[in-house]
Amino acid sequence: MHINALDSYRPGRSRVHRLDPRVKLPLTLLFILSVALMPDRSWVAFGLSQGLLLLVTFLSGVGAGLVQRRSAVALPFTLAALTVIFATPGHPLWTLPGGLLTVTDAGLWRFLSIVIRSYLSVQAAVLLAATTPFPDLLWAARALRVPRTLVAVSGFLYRYLFVLADEAQRLLRAREARSAAPGGRGGGSVVWRARVTGAMAGSLFIRSYERSERIYAAMLARGYDGEVRLLKYQPLGEEASLGEG
């Protein structure tokens, strides 16, 4: 089932998997923070950090390929930083035709540093998500004093994400089935297509709202009184499995 594509957790029994999530989450944050503090061109620090990440990847057993693939998500945003190549004063390397923009060496190093820092950070986040089941992450968040309401709402988000993603897929498929043009180049203007998409969103909203009313009824029937109550938690660690879907 495609549903598992949305689940970042890759079950395992490694030391990384079993590490207390209340330690893993702050550690990851600290790592990203320290990377952010590294000045431009601290190649040694960058290299050591990457080494550390590779070590953790190896220990966790989730596979370097997986980590690299998921980390590529951050790359498109690097375009936003591209302009820094021209804007940083330094030794001019090359002037673009037209004479307006000059690439400087400092600019290049700065751009590279930004990209590297970003890539290091995203790998850390990927490792965290891959080795920690989501309910454990919620628990770690709670330990970091995230308000209960937010934690509870996040729990619902996670629980119903798959249910609603399924419904969204069904709506998309229905639209596909009704679009005459092969190869995805639908007819009608962009405006029309946007409104159809809007109608799909609207119907998904209504279904979600009505579901939330039924859930609320089920909660009331089991004694819900509006207060969010959370038990002292036991981590899922390596025992949570994907199971047969």
Partner 1 sequence: MLKTEVLPASPQMHIPDGFLSLSVAVVCWIVAIAGIGLALWRSRKVLGERQVPLMGVLAAFIFAAQMLNFTVAGGTSGHFLGGALAAILLGPWAATLTLTTVVAIQALLFQDGGLVVMGANITNMAVIAPLVAYGVYRGVRLLAGERRWGSLVGGFLAAWISVVLASTACAVELGFSGTSPIGIALPAMAGVHALIGIGEGLITLGALALVTAVRPDLVEAEQVKARIGGLRWAWVGLGLALVLTLLSPLASPHPDGLERVAENLGFIEAAQSAPYEVIPDYVFPGISNEALATITAGVAGTLIVFAVAVGIAALYRRRETARP
Partner 2 sequence: MMEPCVEVRDVRFTYPDGREALRGINLHLAPGEKVALVGPNGAGKSTLILLLAGLLKGQGSIRIFGEELTEKNVRRLRARLGVVFQDPDDQLFSPTVFDDVAFGPLYAGLPEAEVRERVAWALDQVGLAGFEKRLSHHLSLGEKKRAAIATVLAMQPEVLVLDEPAAGLDPRARRRLIAVLRDLPQAMLLATHDLWLVEELLPRTVLLNGGTVVADGPTAAILTNKRLLETHGL
Q: In the complex, what is the shortest distance from the CB of residue 195 to partner 2, in angstroms, rounded to a whole number?
A: 28
Measured at the CA of 46, the angle between CA 120 and CA 78, to 5 degrees, comes to 45
Among 36, 75, 96, 220, binds partner 2 (CB under 8 A): 220
Closest by alpha carbon to 136, among 4, 6, 17, 15? 17
Binding residue for partner 1, selected from 46, 71, 236, 237, defined by CB under 8 A: 71
Which among partner 2, partner 1, none contacts residue 153 (Cβ within 5 to 8 A by kind)?
partner 1
**DSSP string covering 154-189:** HHHHHHHHHHHHHHHHHHHHHHHHH--SGGG---S-
- The option from partner 2, partner 1, none interacting with 243 (CB < 5 to 8 A, set by class) reads partner 2
Q: Which does 239 bind (CB under 5 to 8 A by kind): partner 1, partner 2, none?
A: partner 2
Query: CA-based angle 128:130:131, to the nearest 5?
Result: 70
Q: Which does residue 209 bind out of partner 1, partner 2, none, counting CB within 5 to 8 angstroms by kind?
A: partner 1
State the nearest-atom distance from the C-beta of 235 to partner 1, in Å. 16
Asked if 114 is part of the footprint of partner 2 (rule: CB under 8 A), the reply reads no
Question: Using the rule CB under 8 A, which residue among 27, 59, 196, 240 binds partner 1?
Answer: 196
Quick one: 86 exposed, middle or buried, by C-beta within 10 A (0-12, 13-18, 19+)?
middle
Q: Which of 101, 137, 127, 123 is nearest to 22 (CA)?
A: 137
Partner touching 229 among partner 2, partner 1, none, CB below 5 to 8 Å by kind: partner 2
Binding of partner 2 by 135 (CB under 8 A): yes
- Are the beta carbons of 9 and 134 closer than 8 angstroms? yes
| Residue in 58, 169, 239, 241 binding partner 1, rule: CB under 8 A | 169
